[in-house]
């Protein structure tokens, strides 16, 4: 039977690791046919190879990741749904706070190198009760699943009162979940400081940009049947898109004075009538990474509806020819008399002290300017997760500037989970002795048979070393999980040292990470003449903390580029 090894390519490429988080020592579990089905998916995309705009614009990366790509780990939730026999989508599982132990009992998140990997253990009986049929080996019928993600819905990290209580969403089917989540909106004051004057971006914007993502999957029942914690069923990637669009204004003015760098853009702001933004996109129930033209209501034109947003410097040197300012906008209409207006102040002359003596401020609507229709390029709506650029190519005092407008997709954020407790493997498992054969392509390690002597049969230990250098002070533990038909939980044991430095046998091996010394494990089989081939999956996990605050993360000790996630220890029939 072909089995689906879920995280292999992603984990090898990114260095990410799966994890189980609870306060017990029996975290490694779930064999084929178990009571749990383990799913895994990636919440981000760092490749930027797919276009998500309707008209297929090229994509642009983030320019200020500290604000544009951040996820607040206490303002982040995701939800899993499945379809029942009547076509409804009830919720099967949720995770509403990364920091709570209760949420982490059956769902885990890990992240390094710009990706987040989520692993969820769903009770098999619960899933079968909703879909109305048994998940079993050999079945070809697909099981439908949906994953929805909400992040940073509070809109800022400045106060705990800004956080969203996602617990209100956990007992809903997908339609009612969307109905509730569609009311989530935030004022631009939560992400904009309202600072006066022109300054760098980090002096103007605060917190984090709210984000949303949803994707539907279909996975075979046979694949789900064999999905377990060691080999989760890989669902794929869920792009999470920002609720705001970015505006860039670039000083590309030609023929500057080489000494004074004049003329130059000295200040940029936006007058916007839409001062609130929605976390979810239009048509969120059918949203799958492509944001359509918005249909959100826009306030009636009037002075009271304007909200002024300052744009900040992106480049350190404001006099550079490619000096760029950036700001952020809610989704809104982009048609004449009902669109954001960009106010661009250009300095033409200064006094000896550098103070402006001749300036001109231009009001540039995003719909078009000086007879040029921007909407031919930008479209009739400001769409989330897109970048709108105005390039100021030429100016002269008393005349309208030469302005070029374009729009690009904004590739999904490359989120980094900055955990100080990340597991860093300094050296992979090195099999040193005790094996009849080792296949580093398949991950199969066949042990030597027992040897005979005058004192009786003797098990030949399998010996291997590995290195984990962080987190220092954490505990590593190695387990052997029986796999295959007629799995025998007692077929293998570890040889470890007791307090008197004597060899003893037990079901696990453990030690403390000191950041310097390599770890050694020794494995023996327990039956000198087995009547069947015994197999066990070797898993090494790292535990940080104690009790309900502990985290248990798996260390990937397989070779770089390997098409498997764990070694399989094999004892052949003698």
Asked if 271 and 307 touch (Cβ cutoff 8 Å), the reply is yes
Residue-level pLDDT at 41: 76
Residues 6+ apart with CB under 8 A from 132: 84, 85
Residue-level pLDDT at 513: 86
Residue whose tokens read 């990470």? 513
Residues 6+ apart with CB under 8 A from 274: 296, 298, 299, 329, 330, 331, 332, 340
* pLDDT band, residue 432 (cuts 50/70/90): very high
Beta-strand pair 264-272/307-310: antiparallel
Candidate ranges 8-17, 46-55, 435-444, 452-461; pick with highest mean pLDDT: 435-444
Asked if 142 and 150 touch (Cβ cutoff 8 Å), the reply is no
The torsion angles phi and psi of 217, rounded to 5 degrees, stand at -125, 160
Name the helix (H) or strand (E) containing 373. Answer: strand 372-373
Beta-strand pair 107-112/424-433: unpaired
Neighbours of 220 (CB within 10 A): 16
Neighbours of 519 (CB within 10 A): 22
When pLDDT is averaged across residues 244-270 and rounded to a whole number, the result is: 90
Go through the chain and tell me how many residues it has: 574
Q: Dig out the tokens for 216 from the structure.
A: 């539907």
Burial classification of residue 115, based on how many CB atoms lie within 10 Å of its CB (0-12 exposed, 13-18 middle, 19 or more buried): buried
Residue whose tokens read 């009786």? 456
Asked if 531 and 522 touch (Cβ cutoff 8 Å), the reply is no
How far apart CA 409 and CA 333 sit, in angstroms, is 18
Half-sphere exposure of 502 (CA within 13 A, CB side): 3
Residue-level pLDDT at 466: 93
**Weakest mean pLDDT among 128-142, 196-210, 297-311:** 297-311
How far apart CA 512 and CA 272 sit, in angstroms, is 57
* pLDDT band, residue 341 (cuts 50/70/90): very high
Is it the case that residue 82 has pLDDT exceeding 90?
yes
3-state secondary structure 290-333: CCCCCCCCCCCCCHHHCEEEECEECCCCCCCCCCEEEEEECCEE
Q: Dig out the tokens for 465 from the structure.
A: 């070393």
The torsion angles phi and psi of 179, rounded to 5 degrees, stand at -60, -45
Distances (CA, A) of 189 to 63, 249, 269: 22, 21, 15
* pLDDT band, residue 288 (cuts 50/70/90): low
Q: Is 388 helix (H, G, I), strand (E, B) or coil?
A: strand
Name the helix (H) or strand (E) containing 122. Answer: strand 115-123
Q: Which residue has the higher pLDDT, 56 or 312?
A: 312
Neighbours of 129 (CB within 10 A): 12
How far apart CA 328 and CA 305 sit, in angstroms, is 17
Q: Is 147 helix (H, G, I), strand (E, B) or coil?
A: strand
Q: Dig out the tokens for 74 from the structure.
A: 């206490």
* pLDDT band, residue 110 (cuts 50/70/90): low
How far apart CA 38 and CA 145 sit, in angstroms, is 13
Q: Dig out the tokens for 253 from the structure.
A: 């003015």
3-state secondary structure 267-298: EEEEEECCCEEECCCCCHHHCCCCCCCCCCCC
Residue-level pLDDT at 403: 93
Query: Which residue from 441, 445, 350, 358 is spatially nearest to 395, judged by alpha carbons?
Result: 358
Neighbours of 353 (CB within 10 A): 5
Residues 6+ apart with CB under 8 A from 303: none
pLDDT single digits (tens) 494-535 = 999 988 889 999 999 999 888 778 899 999 999 998 989 999
Q: Dig out the tokens for 57 from the structure.
A: 């614009």
Mean pLDDT score across all residues of the chain: 78
Residue-level pLDDT at 81: 94
Residue-level pLDDT at 8: 21
Asked if 312 and 265 touch (Cβ cutoff 8 Å), the reply is no
Beta-strand pair 402-410/59-60: parallel
How far apart CA 492 and CA 524 sit, in angstroms, is 6
Q: Which residue has the higher pLDDT, 153 or 232?
A: 153
């Amino acid at each position: 039977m072909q089995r689906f090894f879920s995280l292999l390519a992603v984990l090898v490429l990114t260095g990410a690791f799966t994890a189980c988080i609870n306060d017990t020592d029996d975290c490694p579990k779930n064999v084929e046919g178990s009571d749990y089905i383990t799913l895994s998916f990636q919440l981000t995309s760092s490749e930027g190879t797919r276009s998500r705009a309707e008209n297929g614009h090229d994509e642009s990366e983030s320019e200020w990741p500290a604000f544009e790509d951040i996820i607040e780990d206490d303002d982040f939730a995701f939800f899993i749904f499945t379809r029942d026999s009547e076509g409804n989508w009830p919720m099967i599982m949720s995770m509403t706070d990364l920091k709570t132990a209760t949420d982490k009992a059956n769902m885990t998140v890990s992240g390094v190198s710009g990706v987040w990997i989520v692993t969820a253990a769903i009770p098999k009986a619960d899933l079968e009760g909703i879909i109305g049929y048994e998940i079993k080996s050999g079945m070809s019928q697909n099981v439908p699943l949906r994953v929805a993600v909400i992040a940073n819905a509070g809109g800022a990290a400045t106060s705990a009162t800004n956080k969203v209580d996602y617990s209100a969403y956990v007992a809903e089917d997908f339609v009612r979940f969307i109905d509730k989540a569609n009311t989530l909106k935030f004022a631009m004051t939560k992400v904009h400081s309202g600072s006066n004057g022109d300054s760098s971006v980090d002096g103007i914007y605060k917190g984090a940009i709210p984000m949303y993502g949803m994707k539907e999957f279909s996975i075979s029942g046979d694949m789900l049947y064999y999905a377990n914690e060691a080999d989760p069923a890989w669902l794929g990637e869920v792009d999470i898109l920002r609720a705001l669009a970015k505006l860039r204004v670039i000083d590309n003015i030609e023929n500057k004075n080489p000494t004074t760098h004049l003329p130059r853009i000295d200040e940029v702001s936006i007058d916007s009538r839409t001062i609130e933004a929605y976390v979810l996109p239009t048509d969120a129930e059918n949203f799958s990474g492509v944001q359509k033209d918005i249909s959100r209501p826009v306030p009636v034109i009037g002075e009271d509806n304007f909200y002024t947003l300052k744009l900040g410097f992106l480049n350190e040197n404001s006099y550079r020819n490619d000096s760029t300012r950036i700001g952020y906008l809610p989704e809104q209409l982009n048609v004449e008399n009902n669109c954001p207006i960009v106010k661009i102040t250009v300095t033409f002359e200064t006094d000896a002290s550098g103070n402006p003596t001749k300036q001109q401020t231009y009001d540039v609507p995003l719909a078009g300017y000086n007879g040029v229709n921007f909407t031919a390029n930008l479209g009739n709506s400001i769409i989330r997760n897109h970048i709108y650029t105005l390039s100021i190519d030429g100016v002269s005092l008393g005349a309208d500037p030469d302005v070029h407008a374009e729009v690009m997709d904004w590739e999904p954020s490359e989120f980094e989970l900055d955990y100080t407790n990340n597991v860093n493997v300094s050296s992979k498992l090195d099999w040193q002795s005790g094996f009849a054969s080792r296949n580093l392509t398949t991950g199969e390690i066949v042990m030597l048979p027992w040897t005979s002597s005058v004192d009786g049969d003797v098990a030949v230990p399998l010996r291997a070393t590995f290195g984990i250098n962080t987190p220092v002070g954490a505990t590593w533990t190695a387990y052997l999980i029986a796999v295959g038909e007629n799995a025998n939980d007692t077929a293998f044991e570890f040889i470890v040292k007791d307090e008197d430095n004597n060899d003893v046998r037990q079901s696990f091996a453990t030690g403390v990470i000191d950041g310097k010394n390599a770890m050694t494990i020794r494995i023996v089989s327990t039956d000198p003449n087995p009547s069947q081939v015994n197999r066990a999956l070797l898993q090494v996990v790292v535990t940080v903390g104690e009790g309900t605050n502990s985290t248990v993360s798996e260390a990937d000790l397989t070779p770089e580029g390997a098409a498997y996630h764990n070694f399989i220890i094999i004892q052949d029939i003698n």
